[in-house]
Amino acid sequence: MMFTLAIVGRPNVGKSTLFNRLVGKRLALVDDQPGVTRDLREGQARLGDLRFIVIDSAGLEMADDESLQGRMRRLTERAVDEADICLFVLDGRVGVTAADEYFAELLRKRAKHIILAVNKAEGRAGEAGAMEAFSLGLGEPLRLSAEHGEGMDDLYRTLLPLADVLAAERPDTAPATDVDLPEDFEEDDTEAEDWRPSADRPLQIAVIGRPNAGKSTLINKIIGEDRLLTGPEAGITRDAISVGADFMGTPIRIFDTAGMRKKARVTDKVEKLSVADGLRAVRFAEVVVVLLDVAIPFEQQDLRIADYAESEGRAVVVAANKWDLEEDKPHKLNELREAFERLLPQLKGAPLVTVSAQTGKGLDRLHAAILKAHEVWNRRISTAKLNQWLSAMTEAHPPPAPGGRRIRLRYMTQVKTRPPAFVVMATHTDQIPESYGRYLVNGLRADFDMPGTPIRLIFRDQGTKNPYKDRRTVERPKGALHKHKTRGKPKE
C-alpha cells in the first residue's frame, strides 16, 4: 500500500534533512539558513518494509497575502490537504513557539492524520523541547535526529498502523515516482519499441533556462494545476522539482529547475546548490526543453545552457516563451530561426517552437516536438544501411591523404542509442581531420532524418592487421598437399 506523507513545520527545523533521510538520497537542498525550500518536492521513501511517497514542503510562515511567503504557505497548505499523513516537525532546541501553536491548530482542522515529531532531539539539548511539545495536544511526540538517523524505528512503528488503515480504505493507486533512467544501451538490428513512454517508464523531461523565463508557469500549464510556485520575482525555484503527469496522452515526469545565471554572478551558496541541482536534473532527463524569453532570446547564457544539454547527450527542444506578447510574429520567428542556426550549429535541425506559458498556446507544438526529439534520440540504423551509406559518402567526397598516406574507411556500425553513437573502423585515424567527421555527422542527420539530436562518431584504428591471423588453422588430411603438388606429373 502506497500512502503520502507530507513533512511540514516552521522554516529551518530540519524538514529537508529528514526528507533526504527517508528517500536515502541527497535530493533536497539543505543549508543552515531558513527558507531554502520553496516548492513541494516528492520522493519515494523507504522505512523498513514500508514504501510511501514523502513530500518536502516549504516552511510555514505567518503570512497569508500575495507575497512570496504567502504563496509558499498556500502551497504547503495544499500539500496538507492532499496528503494522507502529516508529519509536523518542531525544533527540539528552540522548543514550542507561538507559530508552532498556531500551525498545530491549523493542522488539527485540515490534516487527515497528524504525527508530531521533535527534531534535533539528540542529547540533553533537545529534552526540554520534547517535553514542551506535549502542550500542543497532538499526542506523544517522536524524538528524532534527522542528521544522525535517530528515532527512525519509532517513526516506523507509528506509521505502520496508519498504513494498514489507509490500505483498508482504498486500493494502491499511487503512481511510481523518481523512475531511474537506463544508461546508454546496445541493441541488435531488430526494431525495439520498449523505449516508448509508458506508465511504468514515463518520458523524463527537464525544463531549463535563465531566471524568470517562465519555466514553472509552463510546467503548471502542462500538468493542468498550480503545482509549482510562480510569481514575478526572478529565482523563485531553487530545488529541481519533479512532477508526474499526463501530457496530451503521454506519461511524463517533468523536472522544473532553478534559473541559471552566468557563473560569475552566482555568489550565494544556495544559488550555487540550486544550479548544481538543475544540472543534475539534466543528467536524469531524456529530453531537455531549453526555454527562452522571446524578448531577449539567445543571450550568451542561453547558448551555454543549450550547449550543456547537447554535451550531456540529451535530446534538445528549444522553446521561445511569452509568444503572446510579441506583436510582429512572422518577423520575430524568422529572426529566431536565423539566430538559432547561426549560434547553435551543434543543434542544427533541432525543434524550435513558440509557446505561451501564460495562455497555453503552442503546447500541442511543444508536445509533438518533444516526441519527435525522443524518437530520433532512440533511433537505430542497421549496419547494412550504414555501410551502403558510408560507401556513397566516401565515393562522393573521399577522405584526405595527408603525406600521401591514403585513409581507408573500412566499415561502420551503430554501437549505442540515447543518443546515437557510431564507430567507423579506419586506417590512420589520427590523420582524419575534424572537418571530415562533421561532414559524416551532417550526412547522417540529413540522410537518416536525425535533426538536432547529439550524434557521437568515433573513428577506431584498424590498421593493416591481418584479420585471419588469429584464426585456428584446419588440418588437411595426410597426403592431400602431396597429391596437389604432383597432380599432372608423369609417374616415374
Q: Annotated binding site, which residues?
A: 9-16, 56-60, 119-122, 209-216, 256-260, 321-324
- Phi then psi dihedrals of residue 461, to 5 deg: -80, 120
Alpha-carbon span 267 to 230, nearest angstrom: 23
Alpha-carbon gap, residue 295 to 322, rounded angstroms = 8
Task: Name, in order, each residue with C-beta under 8 angstroms of 310's C-beta and a sequence gap of 6 or more.
Answer: 316, 346, 347, 454
Reference 353, options 344, 362, 340; nearest CA is 362
Q: Cβ-count burial of 270 within 10 angstroms (0-12 exposed, 13-18 middle, 19+ buried)?
A: middle
Cα–Cα distance list, 350 to 208, 347, 365 (Å): 16, 6, 13
Helices 269-284 and 300-311: crossing angle, nearest 10°?
A: 40
Alpha carbons 181 and 284: distance in angstroms, whole number: 7
CA-to-CA distance for 370 and 389, rounded, in angstroms?
28
Alpha-carbon gap, residue 348 to 442, rounded angstroms: 9
Q: By CB neighbour count within 10 A (0-12 exposed, 13-18 middle, 19+ buried), where does 252 fall?
A: buried
Contact yes or no for 29/36 (Cβ under 8 A): yes
Q: Which residues make up each annotated binding site for GTP?
A: 9-16, 56-60, 119-122, 209-216, 256-260, 321-324
d(CA 348, CA 472): 49
Q: How far is CA 477 from CA 468, 471, 480, 482, in A?
A: 21, 19, 6, 10
Identify whether 175 is preceded by a cis peptide bond (ω within 30 of 0): no
Secondary element (H or E) of residue 441: helix 434-447
CA 448/CA 382 separation, integer angstroms: 11
What is the β-pairing status of strands 50-56 and 41-47? antiparallel
Strands 85-91 and 50-56: unpaired
User: 3-class DSSP state for residue 445?
Assistant: helix
